[in-house]
Chains A and B, each alone.
Chain A
Amino acid sequence: MVVFHVHRIAQRLNHSTLSSVLLHDSGHVSLLKMGSSRSINTAAKFRTWGLLPSNCSNVTSPCTSRTSYGPLSRYQIFLGLRHNEYCTTPGNGEKQTISVTFVDKDGEEKQIKVPVGMSLLEAAHENDIELEGACEGSLACSTCHVIVMDVDYYNKLEDPTDEENDMLDLAFGLTETSRLGCQVIAKPELDGIRVALPAATRNFAVDGFKPKPH
Chain B
Amino acid sequence: MALSRALSFYRSFSTVPSQSLRVCIVGSGPAGFYTADKILKAHEGAEVDIVDRLPTPFGLVRSGVAPDHPETKVVTNQFSRVAQNGHCSFIGNVSLGSSISLAELRELYDAVVLSYGAESDQALGIPGEELAGIYAAREFVWWYNGHPDCRNLAPDLKSSDTAVIIGQGNVALDVARILLRPTAELATTDISCHALAALGESSIRKVYLVGRRGPAQAAFTAKELREVLRIKDLSIEIRQEDLSKTPADEEELKNNRIKRRIHELLSKAATPATSICSPGQKELHFVFFRKPDRFLESDCRNGYIAGLRMERTILKEDVGSGKKIAVGTGLFAEMECGLVLKSVGYKSIPVDGLPFDHHKGVVPNVQGRVLSEAYGDAQVEKGLYVCGWLKRGPTGIIATNLYCAEETVASISEDVLRGAVTSRSGLSKPGREGLLQLLDSRNVKVVTFGGWEKIDNEEKRRGSLKNKPREKLTTWQDLLEVATK
**In the complex, chain A residues whose CB is within 8 Å of the CB of B74:** 11, 134-136, 138, 140
A126 sits at the interface (CB 8 A): no
Q: Give the one of B74, B75, B366 with max A CB within 10 A.
A: B74
The 0/1 profile, CB within 8 Å of B marked 1, for residues 105-142 of chain A is: 01000000000000000000000000010111011111
B399 sits at the interface (CB 8 A): yes
**In the complex, chain B residues whose CB is within 8 Å of the CB of A163:** 223
B222 sits at the interface (CB 8 A): yes
Q: Give the one of A25, A174, A211 with max B CB within 10 A.
A: A211
Out of B4, B71, B258, which one reaches A201, CB within 8 Å? B4
Out of A26, A174, A214, which one reaches B257, CB within 8 Å? A174
A85 sits at the interface (CB 8 A): no
Whether A134 lies near B3 (C-beta < 8 A) is no
A127 to B407, CA, bound (A): 25
Within 8 A of A (CB), among B69-128: 69-72, 74-75, 77-78
B329 sits at the interface (CB 8 A): no
Out of A25, A106, A140, which one reaches B72, CB within 8 Å? A140
**In the complex, chain B residues whose CB is within 8 Å of the CB of A139:** 71
Whether B1 lies near A169 (C-beta < 8 A) is no
Using A170-B399, A204-B407 as known contacts, say yes or no to A213 and B188 having CB atoms under 8 A apart. Answer: no
Whether B188 lies near A68 (C-beta < 8 A) is yes
**In the complex, chain A residues whose CB is within 8 Å of the CB of B2:** 211-214
A158 sits at the interface (CB 8 A): no
A134 → chain B closest CB, angstroms: 4
**In the complex, chain A residues whose CB is within 8 Å of the CB of B71:** 11, 15, 135, 138-140
B82 → chain A closest CB, angstroms: 12
B405 → chain A closest CB, angstroms: 11
Interface on chain B toward A: helix, strand, loop, or mixed SS? helix
B427 sits at the interface (CB 8 A): no
Using A66-B189, A68-B184, A68-B188 as known contacts, say yes or no to A166 and B222 having CB atoms under 8 A apart. Answer: yes
Q: Give the one of B230, B402, B406 with max A CB within 10 A.
A: B402
A165 → chain B closest CB, angstroms: 7
**In the complex, chain A residues whose CB is within 8 Å of the CB of B400:** 207
Within 8 A of A (CB), among B49-75: 69-72, 74-75
B352 sits at the interface (CB 8 A): no
B221 sits at the interface (CB 8 A): yes
Whether A135 lies near B188 (C-beta < 8 A) is no
A residues bordering B, Cβ < 8 Å?
Answer: 11, 15, 22, 25-26, 65-66, 68, 106, 132, 134-136, 138-143, 162-163, 165-167, 169-170, 172, 174, 199-201, 203-204, 207, 211-214
**Between-chain CB contacts (< 8 Å), 12 pairs:** A22-B230, A66-B469, A134-B398, A135-B75, A165-B222, A169-B261, A170-B258, A201-B4, A203-B403, A204-B403, A213-B1, A213-B2
